[in-house]
Structure 1
Amino acid sequence: MAVMFSPALASADSVLQQYSVFTSGDLTANSHVNYNTWVGGNLTGSANSVFAMNAFTGTYGLTVAGTVSGTNIQVNNGKSVAITSAPPAGTFLLNGGGGQVVPTAGLAAQTTAMTTELVNNSAAFAALATNQAALSAGGVFTVNAATAVNGVAVFSIDGSVLSNSQYQNGFQIAGDYASVGSIIINVTGGTSVSSNYNFIGAWSNVDRSKVLWNFENATSLTLNNNFYGTILAMKADVTQGSVSIDSNVFAKSLNFNGEIHGPLYTGFVPTSGAVPEPSSMVMSATALAAALGFARRRVRSRV
């Protein structure tokens, strides 16, 4: 049975609203991320890897819970790096003045808590009742503000649509997209999904900070075209070709060869009791809760 959650935006504590890239596992970086990044596993990079490409409020541009392979990985705009153990000299190139590499305890435990939150977010998005018309034969998402619930427009498509040659001319958007607060697209179907076609027409006019694609069941996601909106795929290994993502990525792992532009997600996040705070899910001991709270205060001063 579909459940309609409160349309109130989540607090600033929502992981979805704090990061441009989050992986519970490994990240291989071959291009740049405009804003802040959290790597729950290991980071592989090079001089072509650039984090915090754009200026934003906050101390840290990159957090790595695991190890780092590579040299001259760039972190710009005076942002610092939080990492479990200090890496070898020459691993990072801190640009803009003021940035530091800060060994930080508790990052693995914090990654677990944040991952659980995001997995629960994904399940809650998937449980939202679809309130928008099906994608048209011509590949048009038509937003109807009158049927959106409290400003949240919810679509549902099968993942195979994204690689169906019927839509090789691209996907379009029409209707009341400027009048709604969030556009949620739940992607169902198989576990292996490829996105092969571009977003064209009025998509360039949509506020991409309020668009979210929820791939709840995907375990593999390949992006072969420029993509528009935040990607939530916490079970998936995501491969991004030499194409741009005009928003953010939350995934199990990510290998990216194109730019990730942001901006940070500002749309609807489910806030009902079905999506508890991380503390009620993984912090059963008082001492652990205190430790995680201390770690989060040290690394969360980002955006």
Structure 2
Amino acid sequence: MINKSNSMMKKLSIILITALIAVTHSVNATSFALNDYNLVTIGDVNSSSLHVHGNAFVGGNLNAGNAEFGNDINNTTALELAGELQQNVRIHGGNSAEVNGSAVQEIDMNGVATGRYLVNGNAISNASSVTQNAQLSAQQAAIKASLESASAQFAAMADVNTQDISGNKLHVNSLDSNGYAVFQLGEKVNSGDAADIGKNSFLLSNSNQDLEIVYNLSASTLNELGGIIINVPGTEIDFSENNNKVSGNGFLSSLQGRANVLWNFFEATSITLNANFYGNILAPLAQLTSSSDIDGSVAVYGLSAQHSGQIHLPTSTIPTPPSTVSIPEPSVVALMLLSLLLLVRRHNAH
């Protein structure tokens, strides 16, 4: 009887350990949406005209006139829409679209497919297919949590390297042990003129700056590069106020360069751009208002694109920061241990 109990205990212990590993793994397994999408919003997209050259995940409603998706990709899903379609959109490159729970009606002409589909009375045209995906709401919640976590992790990365900001140039002089170069651009303004509270001190005190990234390391180090992270403090970020902008020269002149640069607006609730922007944008709490093109992927809470704003590839190649091994929530561990104890007692009782 004792041997059987010991055997049962061993089996149950193995089951518990396996379950704990599975729980821990699931916590770490979340993908970084900026690597997967050219545009990600947690909430709505509102625009008079918008072209997304890669693929997009829209977590809220899509209210964008003359909107086009997938200009530079082929035979994949160019649009995933978790909210409602509120204006007509167009899909390029033989790409498809997925919508959340809305009835999809394909329009044909004398039995011949036209690539035109009605969703909520609005049309998705030129698509290879439009299908319903009931998991998009759950996916939106997962992406929201993942982006907020990644932004906080990047913000917590200290500038321990020998980076320096000289005038309008951000010099990359070294990489940390994980291949990152980290900058902090200014501080959040917390005192002084009431109109300036919450703004970014660098953008507020500088004007007509074309911010440029200068990569002072050898080309061979690009294979080790995890990413160039520029953390930008402040709840209200306005590049247009003093006519500051990001230059497409230097490191940001190439697709590889833009894919390896992340502008992390970790506490911003509003961002305004009025000139072309280069590099990837991570701002999971912010409403982004842009009247210009963005060369890089965008992950924001909401987007208001004015005029003929375009979002170009590439997508980010920057992974989320490495973190310590995740520990399951205490409630999960306690529940597993209680279940194990009850099973053992039940077994011994027999």
Q: Give the one of 195, 199, 202 matched to 2:246.
A: 199
Instruction: State the one-letter code of the partner of 2:84.
Output: T
1:269 equivalent to 2:269? Answer: no
Q: What's the CA shift for 1:151?
A: 2.1
Q: Give the one of 140, 157, 162 matched to 2:185.
A: 157
Structure scoring higher RCO (CA < 8 A, sep ≥ 6) equals 1
Once residues 74 and 80 of structure 1 are traced to their aligned partners in structure 2, the CA distance between those partners, rounded to angstroms, is 10
Per the alignment, in what secondary structure is the counterpart of residue 171 of structure 1?
Answer: strand
Is the alpha carbon distance of 1:27 and 1:132 closer, same or farther for their aligned partners in structure 2, counting shifts above 3 Å? farther
Q: What's the CA shift for 1:110?
A: 1.3
Residue-by-residue CA offset, 1:184-239 (whole Å, 9 max, x unaligned): 11111x21101232333313146101110111100001111111111000000111
Once residues 254 and 36 of structure 1 are traced to their aligned partners in structure 2, the CA distance between those partners, rounded to angstroms, is 15
Match of 1:125 in 2: 154
Once residues 31 and 165 of structure 1 are traced to their aligned partners in structure 2, the CA distance between those partners, rounded to angstroms, is 32
Highest CA radius of gyration, 1 or 2? 2
Match of 1:27 in 2: 45
Q: What's the CA shift for 1:61?
A: 0.4
Q: What's the CA shift for 1:101?
A: 1.3
Residue-by-residue CA offset, 1:121-178 (whole Å, 9 max, x unaligned): 0111011111243421x21100112x53332100111262563463404112223265
Per the alignment, in what secondary structure is the counterpart of residue 260 of structure 1?
Answer: strand
Once residues 325 and 304 of structure 2 are traced to their aligned partners in structure 1, the CA distance between those partners, rounded to angstroms, is 31
1:172 equivalent to 2:172? Answer: no
Are 1:124 and 1:274, in contact at CA under 8 Å, matched by a contact in 2? no
Are 1:246 and 1:261, in contact at CA under 8 Å, matched by a contact in 2? yes
Q: Give the one of 49, 57, 70 matched to 2:87.
A: 70
Unpaired runs of 5+ in structure 1? 1-9, 285-303
Match of 1:237 in 2: 287
TM-score by length of 1: 0.78
Is the alpha carbon distance of 1:208 and 1:53 closer, same or farther for their aligned partners in structure 2, counting shifts above 3 Å? same
Match of 2:303 in 1: 254
Once residues 310 and 57 of structure 2 are traced to their aligned partners in structure 1, the CA distance between those partners, rounded to angstroms, is 16
Is the alpha carbon distance of 1:11 and 1:150 closer, same or farther for their aligned partners in structure 2, counting shifts above 3 Å? same
Once residues 319 and 303 of structure 2 are traced to their aligned partners in structure 1, the CA distance between those partners, rounded to angstroms, is 24
Is the alpha carbon distance of 1:12 and 1:24 closer, same or farther for their aligned partners in structure 2, counting shifts above 3 Å? closer
1:50 equivalent to 2:95? Answer: no
Are 2:164 and 2:172, in contact at CA under 8 Å, matched by a contact in 1? no
Q: What's the CA shift for 1:109?
A: 1.3
1:135 equivalent to 2:165? Answer: yes
Q: Give the one of 125, 128, 131 matched to 1:93.
A: 125
Q: What's the CA shift for 1:21?
A: 0.6
Match of 1:40 in 2: 59
Per the alignment, in what secondary structure is the counterpart of residue 135 of structure 1?
Answer: strand
Are 1:226 and 1:244, in contact at CA under 8 Å, matched by a contact in 2? yes
Match of 1:217 in 2: 267
Unpaired runs of 5+ in structure 2? 1-27, 104-118, 188-199, 333-350
Residue identity (%): 34
Once residues 325 and 168 of structure 2 are traced to their aligned partners in structure 1, the CA distance between those partners, rounded to angstroms, is 33
Instruction: State the one-letter code of the partner of 1:70.
Output: Q
Once residues 169 and 221 of structure 1 are traced to their aligned partners in structure 2, the CA distance between those partners, rounded to angstroms, is 17
Q: Map 1:1-20 to 2 at 5 A.
A: 13-20=31-38
Is the alpha carbon distance of 1:118 and 1:59 closer, same or farther for their aligned partners in structure 2, counting shifts above 3 Å? same
Once residues 204 and 163 of structure 2 are traced to their aligned partners in structure 1, the CA distance between those partners, rounded to angstroms, is 19
Instruction: State the one-letter code of the partner of 2:299.
Output: F
The structure carrying a bigger helix percent of its residues is 2
